[in-house]
């Protein structure tokens, strides 16, 4: 039984069902806002300022808030993105020159539905369509770096300015990174079989022939599959976040990675690269560290390094990129993220 089968048959009924679900979501969000205050402080009579209460409150309130945000954001983003596809993106990028091509590729990297497990066929397909390597790399950098979940959650938790800053900074790193790698002659370090592979027959457009029901169905499934995939990361993130929130001494992080420490951003990025989590798992940590007084630039850099550079994706990319290019890829993206961190620490104050 699929969701599409369960949807009411009439168009009006469908809108009604979607509206009802939206209202239920909003109600849950609203209830979460005051329920825990009521329960912990008023009903149980716990002291508002006690460390243990703060930890419990953070855990309950923020985990539910974050899960609700995730459900809403994943659903909306999946339905919207189902109108785009990697094949359409490729068609738009075919024959573009470097420069303008890098900008377009980075932008499309953000909005095209793309799983890093498709990185290799996409890479080969782009190259076969005559997309320059540097432009292709801009796409591959932007796609995980400007993560739609991260954008949505930054917007929800820190406001639109921080979210906008994150998107623009990510785009800048992707555009500059791809362009620099292209200039360095990335061509030489691509495995030769990539240039010999020919795309067979008609390229299949994965977004073709989908009805609205199917898109809704995809949205619902994506919510389920992402939550199933990330819940351990999410729980760990919220757990650590809650512990930091309640127990880490106020000055600990600020002293070691705060404004006073010139290497703060560098430390955050070096710690973040090997950490394999996703935007959802990192967000509770970012939230808790922000409350502890870490500057936003450092936190954005930390988050970017966690989501943009991950070992599994690098192992896949190794199939098409030689070690030299892979190292340059990590180096350029890492350096870009560090630059973003320092820049925003200076600008956002």
Partner 1 sequence: MIIKVLGPGCANCLTLERRAREAVDALGLDATIEKVEDFPTIVGYGVLATPALVVDEKVVVSGRVPTTAGLRDLLSGRAA
User: According to CB under 8 A, which one of 10, 12, 42, 202 is a site residue for partner 1?
Assistant: 202
Check residue 198 for interaction with partner 1 (CB under 8 A).
yes
Tokens of 291: 């409350």
Q: Yes or no: say if 296 and 265 are a contact pair by the CB < 8 Å rule.
A: no
In the block, which residue shows the tokens 């820049």? 343
- How far is it, in rounded angstroms, from Cα 133 to Cα 157? 36
Size of the site for partner 1 (CB under 8 A): 38
Q: Yes or no: say if 334 and 273 are a contact pair by the CB < 8 Å rule.
A: yes
User: Alpha helices of the chain — where are they, by DSSP H?
Assistant: 3-6, 11-36, 51-57, 63-81, 86-93, 100-111, 119-128, 133-145, 148-158, 160-183, 193-196, 212-247, 252-257, 264-272, 279-291, 296-308, 311-317, 323-347
Check residue 318 for interaction with partner 1 (CB under 8 A).
no
Minimum distance from residue 140 beta carbon to partner 1 (Å): 13
Minimum distance from residue 202 beta carbon to partner 1 (Å): 6
Nearest 5°: phi and psi at 147?
A: -85, 130
Q: Which stretch binds partner 1 (CB under 8 A): 40-48, 141-149, 248-256, 315-323?
A: 315-323
- Indicate the DSSP class of residue 203: P
Contacts with partner 1, 81-120, as mask; x by CB under 8 A: ----xxx--x----------------------xxx-xx-x
Closest residue by Cα to residue 282 from 150, 140, 159:
150
Minimum distance from residue 115 beta carbon to partner 1 (Å): 7
Minimum distance from residue 10 beta carbon to partner 1 (Å): 21
Minimum distance from residue 122 beta carbon to partner 1 (Å): 5
Check residue 323 for interaction with partner 1 (CB under 8 A).
no
Tokens of 64: 């539910």
Check residue 2 for interaction with partner 1 (CB under 8 A).
yes
Check residue 199 for interaction with partner 1 (CB under 8 A).
yes
Comparing CB distances to partner 1, the nearer of 2 and 324 is 2
Tell me the β-bridge partners of 348: none
Minimum distance from residue 254 beta carbon to partner 1 (Å): 39
Check residue 204 for interaction with partner 1 (CB under 8 A).
yes
Q: Which of residues 225-264 bind partner 1 (CB under 8 A)?
A: 229
**Total number of residues shown for the chain:** 349
Check residue 313 for interaction with partner 1 (CB under 8 A).
no
Comparing CB distances to partner 1, the nearer of 228 and 249 is 228
Contacts with partner 1, 24-53, as mask; x by CB under 8 A: ------------------------------
Comparing CB distances to partner 1, the nearer of 199 and 346 is 199
- For 234-265, give one letter per residue: b (16+ CB within 10 A) or e: beebbebbbebbbeeeeeebbeebbeeeeebb
User: According to CB under 8 A, which one of 67, 105, 156, 218 is a site residue for partner 1?
Assistant: 218
- How far is it, in rounded angstroms, from Cα 134 to Cα 177? 8
Enumerate binding residues for partner 1 (CB under 8 A): 1-2, 5, 85-87, 90, 113-115, 117-118, 120-122, 124-125, 128, 193, 197-207, 214, 217-218, 221, 229, 316, 319-320
């Amino acid at each position: 039984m699929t969701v599409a089968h369960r949807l009411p048959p009439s168009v009006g009924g469908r809108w009604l069902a979607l509206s009802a679900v939206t209202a239920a979501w909003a109600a849950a969000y609203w209830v979460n806002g005051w329920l825990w205050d009521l329960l912990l402080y008023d009903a149980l009579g716990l002291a508002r300022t006690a460390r243990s209460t703060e930890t419990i409150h953070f855990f309950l309130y923020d985990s539910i808030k974050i899960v609700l945000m995730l459900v809403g954001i994943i659903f909306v983003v999946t339905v919207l993105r189902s109108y785009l596809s990697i094949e359409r993106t490729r068609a738009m990028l075919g024959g573009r020159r470097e420069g303008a091509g890098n900008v377009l590729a980075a932008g499309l990297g953000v909005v095209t539905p793309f799983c890093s497990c498709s990185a290799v066929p996409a890479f080969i397909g782009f190259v076969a369509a005559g997309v320059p390597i540097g432009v292709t790399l801009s796409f591959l950098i932007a796609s995980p770096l400007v993560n739609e979940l991260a954008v949505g959650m930054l917007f929800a938790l820190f406001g639109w300015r921080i979210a906008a800053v994150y998107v623009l900074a990510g785009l800048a790193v992707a555009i500059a990174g791809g362009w620099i790698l292209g200039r360095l002659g990335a061509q030489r370090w691509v495995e030769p079989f990539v240039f010999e592979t020919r795309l067979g027959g008609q390229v299949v457009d994965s977004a073709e022939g989908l009805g609205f029901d199917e898109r809704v169905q995809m949205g619902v499934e994506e919510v389920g599959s992402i939550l199933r995939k990330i819940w351990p990361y999410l729980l760990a993130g919220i757990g650590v976040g809650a512990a930091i929130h309640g127990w880490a001494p106020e000055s600990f992080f600020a002293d070691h990675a705060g404004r006073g420490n010139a290497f703060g951003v560098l430390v955050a990025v070096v710690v973040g690269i090997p950490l394999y989590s996703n935007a959802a798992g990192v967000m509770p940590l970012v939230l808790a560290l922000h409350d502890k007084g870490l500057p936003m630039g450092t936190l954005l850099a930390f988050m970017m390094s966690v989501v943009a550079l991950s070992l599994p994706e690098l192992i896949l990319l190794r199939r098409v990129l030689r070690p030299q290019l892979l190292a340059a890829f990590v180096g350029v993206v890492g350096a870009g993220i560090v630059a973003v961190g320092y820049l925003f620490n200076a600008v956002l104050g």
